[in-house]
Amino acid sequence: MARGGSPTRVGLVVHPTRDVEDELAALRRWAGEQGGEIVQVDDQEREFAERGDVEDTDLVVTLGGDGTMLSGIRVAGRANRPVLGAACGSLGALTTVTADELPAALDRVAAGEWTARKLPTLTVEYEDAERTAVNDLVVVRQGAGQVSVSVRVDDQLFTRFAGDGFVIGTPLGSSAYTLAAGGPLLAPGALGMVFTPLAPHGGFIPPLVSGPEGRLEVEIDPGHGGARLELDGQIGDLLPPLEPAAVAVTLAPGRGTLVSLGEDEPMLAGLRRRRILIDSPRILARDDREAAEPV
């Protein structure tokens, strides 16, 4: 979609269970006033509009939360379409506006008052196919027993370990499962992938940050219980017990495109707002004492 051109065909990705009828009605009214059209571009069973191809749209709009936004980015990435996320609930890390702000935001997009915010994504090679993840790739044990893993970084052996599995995250994903698993948080502007082991059994296996052009190759022995592969929290392929598997992961710097209206919340501020980052109790107690003191 060229800047300054009104999106005449909008692709929709909607939360699979949340009630968004009011938001859909507002979006349909906006499209009608603009002489536009709305089509559903995801493949979920729930139908909320006529189905269409993302390649034939000018813009993708998501209604839901960050999980819906991740789905929308993956769908839109196939055709390099920008994504405008409307939060139906609390504002997350990816959604651009709240649901009631959506018509005004679309007016600004139609007027060309927006910029493209590029997101790096993971390109995951597995079984002669490529998959995309915005946050992370996870391989985790499916049943009892441990998964054995061998990791190479740019053809150099990094580590071998047995444990619950591993997470490979983007810079954005470093604030999600990677952070919860004890991995590092990449500050805004940092570019690379983060490899984090999950509950390694012994040894010394620190999280690893690769370079932006790095390549991670992971050989996996799923053990007796098997394992599963997840992309952005969605369960994908199952790795059968005792059958070796391998994945190769690289970073695609600009595969995802978000609509920015110039009012994006800084990443660290968003993490603090949502209490993912919390100051230590000693500091918070000091703040409380100072606030209670008479001026």
- Where do the structural domains in the chain lie, given as residue ranges? 9-113, 121-253
- How many residues belong to the chain? 295
128 is catalytic: no
Three-state DSSP at 55 gives helix
Burial 48-65 (b: 16+ CB within 10 A, else e): bbeebebeebbbbbbbbb
Beta bridge partners of 235: 230
CA distances from 204 to 43, 150, 161, 256 (A): 43, 14, 9, 35
CA distances from 61 to 11, 96, 229, 260 (A): 6, 10, 27, 13
10 Ramachandran zone, left/alpha/beta (phi>0; psi -120 to 50):
beta
pLDDT tens series, the chain, 295 aa = 444 456 778 999 998 888 888 888 889 999 888 888 999 998 888 888 899 999 999 999 999 888 899 999 989 988 989 999 998 876 677 888 888 899 999 999 988 999 999 999 999 999 989 999 999 999 999 988 999 999 999 999 999 999 999 999 999 999 999 999 999 999 988 999 999 999 999 999 999 999 999 999 999 999 999 999 999 998 889 999 999 999 999 999 877 899 999 888 888 998 998 899 999 999 999 999 999 988 7
Domain spanning 9-113: CATH superfamily: Probable inorganic polyphosphate/atp-NAD kinase; domain 1 (3.40.50.10330)
User: What is residue 42's DSSP assignment?
Assistant: S
Task: Say which CATH class 121-253 falls into.
Answer: mainly beta
Q: What is the pTM of this model?
A: 0.88
CA distances from 174 to 73, 102, 134, 290 (A): 17, 28, 11, 34
Helices 102-110 and 21-34 cross at an angle (nearest 10°) of: 30
Q: Which of 66, 107, 221, 287 is catalytic?
A: 66
